[in-house]
């Protein structure tokens, strides 16, 4: 079996290695010459694979994925298969599928979780597409997934894989926020001497036992107060998309929203809100927020 892998960054590169170790021949391409690529163009990648081809796209969501799908629509042949394994918004999938279907090319989407640990631990995979296509491509998924019964699911038709991954990441946001709220509360209390030690102790026997907690415990070993980390967090899109999808479906997601809002606030998103609040306070009460007043609070 052969697989074309487009995108050999932190995720794609590791995944290519894991697939190759399972005995599948991987032809890799990345636009960066510095990468570990097998071929130096998409054309060469297509030529290097026997039809019917399976090409896994692992490039940034949005424009880069659009550009890649556009190119593959021209280069591939009827019966070939494109799998978008990047973090595309689920709403992109139907569009990509329709575009490729016009050329007789099949399409699947696949959400991939696991981060830098996946190469050893395996990747949790959520696929979207037909049962037939899933059966055809299954060896690739089996190569990537972790050992054990879990870690791979056909979530639904095209779009279902990215929808499931989006929800997975939304849950991840909520879990991380929950751990953060607990840590921050303990940090300010005089009753808990070493919040990092307390949280690390929960790794066995507790209800909050989880892989995220394991990771946090690793970080605590070198920085138990986390003071080396700036109090700012970025966001990658999925939680935002999940909140929007849920809004349209009539499902309230307040914890997920709280997690995203916390990150947006850390990047200045609430600044104008606070200006309004302090302006009103200054008007009605003679309350003034001064920088030195703040400093000495």
Active site amino acids: 165
| Cβ(272)–Cβ(292) below 8 Å | no
| Cβ(107)–Cβ(127) below 8 Å | no
Shortest approach of a copy of itself to residue 80 CB, angstroms?
24
3-class DSSP state for residue 125?
strand
Task: Tally the C-alpha atoms within 13 A of residue 119's C-alpha that lie toward its C-beta.
Answer: 12
**Of 202, 197, 200, 194, nearest in space to 217 by CA:** 200
Q: Which residue number, 33 or 268, has a Cβ lying nearer to a copy of itself?
A: 268
**Which of 23, 33, 102, 286 lies at the binding interface for a copy of itself (CB under 8 A)?**
286
Q: CA distances (Å), 251 to each of 75, 126, 161, in order? A: 42, 22, 20
- Is 79 a binding residue for a copy of itself by CB under 8 A? The answer is no
- Is 98 a binding residue for a copy of itself by CB under 8 A? The answer is no
The 3 state secondary structure assigned to 132-162 is HHHHHHHHHHHHHCCCCCCCEEEEECCCHHH
- Is 135 a binding residue for a copy of itself by CB under 8 A? The answer is no
For the chain, how many residues are written?
297
- Is 149 a binding residue for a copy of itself by CB under 8 A? The answer is yes
**Which of 134, 143, 170, 238 lies at the binding interface for a copy of itself (CB under 8 A)?**
170
Measure the CA–CA gap between 145 and 27, rounded to whole angstroms.
20
- Is 182 a binding residue for a copy of itself by CB under 8 A? The answer is yes
Shortest approach of a copy of itself to residue 214 CB, angstroms?
9
Shortest approach of a copy of itself to residue 101 CB, angstroms?
17
Q: Which residue number, 53 or 145, has a Cβ lying nearer to a copy of itself?
A: 145
Task: Tally the C-alpha atoms within 13 A of residue 215's C-alpha that lie toward its C-beta.
Answer: 10
Stretch that binds a copy of itself, among 49-57, 58-66, 98-106, 235-243 (CB under 8 A): 235-243
* # residues near a copy of itself by CB under 8 A: 143
Stretch that binds a copy of itself, among 20-28, 38-46, 58-66, 182-190 (CB under 8 A): 182-190
- Residue 220 pairs in a beta bridge with none
- Burial class of residue 168 in the structure, from the number of CB atoms within 10 Å of its CB (0-12 exposed, 13-18 middle, 19+ buried): middle
Q: Of 199-228, which residues contact a copy of itself (CB under 8 A)?
A: 200-213, 215-219, 223, 226-227
Measure the CA–CA gap between 83 and 244, rounded to whole angstroms.
25
Q: Of 12-41, which residues contact a copy of itself (CB under 8 A)?
A: none
- Is 176 a binding residue for a copy of itself by CB under 8 A? The answer is yes
| Omega before 78 within 30 of 0, i.e. cis | no
Shortest approach of a copy of itself to residue 83 CB, angstroms?
17
Shortest approach of a copy of itself to residue 106 CB, angstroms?
18
**Which of 33, 63, 102, 191 lies at the binding interface for a copy of itself (CB under 8 A)?**
191
């Amino acid at each position: 079996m052969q697989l074309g892998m487009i995108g050999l960054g932190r995720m794609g590169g590791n995944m290519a290695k894991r697939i190759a170790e399972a005995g599948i021949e991987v032809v890799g391409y990345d636009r960066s010459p510095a990468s570990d690529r097998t071929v130096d163009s998409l054309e060469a990648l297509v030529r290097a694979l026997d039809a019917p081809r399976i090409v896994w796209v692992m490039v940034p969501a949005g424009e880069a994925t659009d550009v890649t799908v556009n190119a593959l629509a021209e280069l591939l042949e009827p019966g070939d298969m494109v799998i978008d394994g990047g973090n595309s918004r689920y709403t992109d999938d139907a569009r990509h599928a329709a575009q490729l279907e016009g050329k007789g090319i099949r399409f699947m989407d696949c959400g991939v979780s696991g981060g830098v640990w996946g190469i050893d631990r395996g990747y949790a995979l959520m696929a979207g597409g037909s049962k037939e296509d899933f059966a055809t491509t299954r060896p690739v998924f089996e190569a990537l997934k972790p050992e054990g019964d879990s870690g791979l699911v056909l979530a639904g038709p095209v779009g279902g894989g990215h929808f499931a991954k989006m929800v997975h990441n939304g849950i991840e946001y909520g879990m991380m926020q929950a751990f953060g709220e607990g840590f921050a509360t303990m940090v300010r209390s005089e009753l808990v001497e070493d919040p990092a030690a307390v949280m690390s102790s929960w790794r066995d026997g507790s209800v909050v036992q989880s892989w995220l907690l394991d990771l946090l415990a690793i970080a605590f070993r070198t920085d138990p107060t986390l003071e080396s980390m700036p109090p700012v967090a970025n966001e990658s899109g999925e939680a935002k998309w999940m909140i929007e999808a849920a809004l349209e479906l009539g499902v309230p997601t307040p914890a997920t929203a709280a997690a995203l809002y916390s990150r947006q606030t850390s990047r200045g998103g609430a600044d104008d809100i606070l200006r309004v609040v302090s302006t009103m306070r200054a008007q009605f009460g003679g309350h003034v927020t001064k920088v030195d007043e703040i400093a000495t609070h």
